[in-house]
Structure 1
Amino acid sequence: MTLAMNRDELAAYIDEVFPQVRGAFRIDALTEDGITMRLVVNDTHLRPGGTVSGPSMFGLADVCVYAMVLSRIGRQALAVTTNCSIDFMRKPAAGADLIATGQLLKLGRVLAIGDVHLRSEGSPDLVARATLTYSIPPAR
């Protein structure tokens, strides 16, 4: 799939339309085959016991698919999540960023489906796997 925005353009656009999460997520790599993103983990992402919370992991998976969709369709901030299934497999490492690798399984005119694998930085083991569906706004 051809990219409508490169990594820097996409990061700048996400910062523009979602300034409230600026600095929380970083795009490490973006290619026509997929994306690698990270959640820059800090105390706000932790739950009792010092592990990354489920909502924080969901947030990374969601932003990952959103970024992949926008990288293909361009500046359409109103693409929205319509479905998410996430499997939490193991406790993320304490004190490590979460790394998401994602790929689009389908990009249609109305819906996009993406798959995301989450790992603690430095570990090959999956901590979660998610599949998300996004609704693409109609062309104007």
Structure 2
Amino acid sequence: MEPKMTLAELRDFFARDFPQVGPEFGIDAVGPMEAVVRWSPSDAHLRPGGTVSGPTLFALADLGVYAALLAMIGPKALAVTTNASIDFMRKPLPGQDILAEVRLLKLGRALAVGDVLMRSDGSDATVARASMTYSIPPKG
């Protein structure tokens, strides 16, 4: 199944309908059942000790699954997270963007399940792993 939204359309949707994510969030790529997104952390996203905060990593995972899902089903802004789990594995590299590779594991009529691996740009080491379930609004 091919995505219903192109990378440009998805970026436009976020800029228009979800501007609160701000310039720190970006979508690098979309494909069938997958996306690559990034977060460029500022000082506001750091916790004491200078590492990227857990809530920032959680937001990246959540936004990544949302982006991958919307790419597949089209611009349905009311798709919402119904379950989430995240494992923090190591500190991100200081001063680097965080990349999230998203795979949709299931895309049904009412629910979608996604898996997210996050790493610092320039590193292959996983920083965090998340699993997200989204509720898809009914048609009509």
Worse-matched range after superposition: 82-91 or 29-38: 29-38
Report Cα offsets for 1:86-111 as digits up to 9, x if no partner: 00001111111100001100000000
Aligned twin of 2:57: 57
Matched, 1:137 2:137: yes
1:124 is the counterpart of 2:124: yes
User: Take 1:24 and 1:137, find their aligned partners in 2: how far apart are those partners?
Assistant: 27
SS in 2 for 1:70: helix
**Residue 67 (structure 2) pairs with residue 67 (structure 1):** yes
Residues 10-37 of structure 1: CA distance to partner in whole angstroms, max 9, x if unpaired? 0110121111113121111111151111
Residue in structure 2 matched with residue 8 of structure 1 by the alignment: 8
After superposition, where does 1:12-91 map in structure 2 within 5 Å? 12-91=12-91
- 8 A Cα contact 2:106 2:114, kept in partner: yes
Q: Which amino acid aligns with 1:119?
A: R
Q: Which position in structure 1 is the counterpart of 2:98? A: 98
Give 1:2 deviation, angstroms.
1.4
What percentage of aligned pairs have identical amino acids?
56
C-alpha distance in structure 2 between counterparts of 1:50 and 1:22, whole Å: 21
| One-letter amino acid of the structure 2 residue matched with residue 100 of structure 1 | A
State the superposition RMSD in angstroms.
Answer: 0.8
Query: Distance in 2 between the 1:70 and 1:13 partners?
Result: 9
**Alpha-carbon distance in 2 for matches of 1:66, 1:124:** 23
User: Aligned to 1:47, what secondary structure does the other structure show?
Assistant: coil
In the alignment, the residues of structure 2 paired with residue 25 and residue 61 of structure 1 have an alpha-carbon distance, to the nearest angstrom, of: 11
TM-score (ref. length: structure 2): 0.97
Contact 2:33 2:68 in 1 (8 A): no
For the residues of structure 1 that align with 2:17 and 2:133, how far apart are their CA atoms? Answer: 20
TM-score by structure 1 length? 0.97
Count of aligned positions: 140
